[in-house]
């Protein structure tokens, strides 16, 4: 049996459920994913942990702290990049502020957190929990914009490869990597690099907004290794076993 379950929430927001934990990454709220949606996903018998890779509004909403005062449910803990404005209510009982290129052990259990730098803001996360190794890229992406100069494009490429080159050395079970359709032909650059250099078992694209159709068109599965499981979400709040 798979030791984890993935629910794609929306954009870069995902839920990974392991034996004892519910790990929420980069959750924010809009019409496509509401606080009620999130509340309905939280179960009583697992520890919820919210990870925030950085403070951009498509990765973070301060309302995630509202879940800290749940009745009859274990209080969630929070792992948040230091670039996020620290407006934290008193009700939050455990919060870990993280910077790039560090390793942390969470107080409440055996969860290990390794952070990497980003090519935008904040951090990328590599988490080891309940025997599962999970990578969430945040905005660490190969930002190859058509409108950029050649110099800027190669700088972006170098920066991305320098950081992702470190990430791919780690054993990874499950990875979330950006495929941003706004980059057009370059949308899959980050994913392709990651897939080629990493031994990750399962890969899920993120950071494509509501562009589910474009996402499907952009991804060429024939270029990926046979033993890599690629999960392509087709709608918001989609659960994969």
Q: Binding residues for Zn ion, per CB under 5 A? A: 58, 139
Output the smallest distance, CB 206 to Zn ion, in A.
9
Q: Provide Rg for the chain, Cα atoms.
A: 17
- The span from the CA of 240 to the CA of 232, in Å, is 10
Q: Is the dihedral of CA 203, 208, 213, 216 positive or negative?
A: negative
Q: Which CB atom, from 139 or from 156, has the smaller least distance to Zn ion? A: 139
Nearest residue (beta carbon) to Zn ion: 139
Output the smallest distance, CB 17 to Zn ion, in A.
24
Q: Which CB atom, from 119 or from 202, has the smaller least distance to Zn ion? A: 119
Q: Which CB atom, from 139 or from 173, has the smaller least distance to Zn ion? A: 139
72: left (phi over 0), alpha (psi -120 to 50) or beta: left
Output the smallest distance, CB 19 to Zn ion, in A.
30
Burial zone of 41 (CB within 10 Å; 0-12 exposed, 13-18 middle, 19+ buried):
middle
Q: Which CB atom, from 76 or from 122, has the smaller least distance to Zn ion? A: 122
Output the smallest distance, CB 214 to Zn ion, in A.
17
């Amino acid at each position: 049996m798979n030791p984890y379950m993935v629910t794609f929430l929306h954009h870069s927001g995902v839920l990974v459920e392991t034996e004892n934990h519910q790990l929420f990454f980069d959750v924010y709220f809009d019409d496509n994913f509401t606080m009620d949606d999130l509340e309905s996903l939280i179960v009583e018998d697992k520890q919820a942990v919210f990870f925030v890779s950085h403070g951009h509004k498509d990765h973070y909403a301060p309302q995630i702290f509202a879940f800290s005062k749940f009745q009859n449910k274990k209080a969630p803990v929070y792992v948040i990049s230091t670039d996020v404005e620290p407006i934290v209510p008193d009700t939050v009982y455990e919060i870990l502020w993280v910077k790039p290129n560090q390793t942390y052990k969470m107080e409440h259990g055996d969860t290990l957190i390794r952070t990497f730098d980003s090519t935008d803001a904040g951090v990328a996360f590599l988490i080891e929990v309940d025997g599962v190794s999970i990578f969430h890229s945040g905005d660490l992406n190969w930002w190859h914009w058509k409108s950029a100069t050649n110099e800027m494009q190669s700088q972006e490429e170098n920066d991305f490869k320098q950081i992702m080159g470190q990430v791919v050395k780690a054993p990874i079970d499950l990875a979330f990597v950006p495929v941003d359709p706004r980059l057009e032909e370059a949308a899959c650059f980050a994913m392709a690099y990651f897939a080629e250099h990493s031994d990750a078992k399962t890969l899920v694209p993120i950071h494509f907004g509501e562009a589910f159709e474009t996402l499907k068109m952009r991804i060429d599965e024939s270029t990926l290794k046979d033993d890599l499981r690629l999960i392509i979400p087709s709608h918001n709040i989609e659960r994969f076993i």
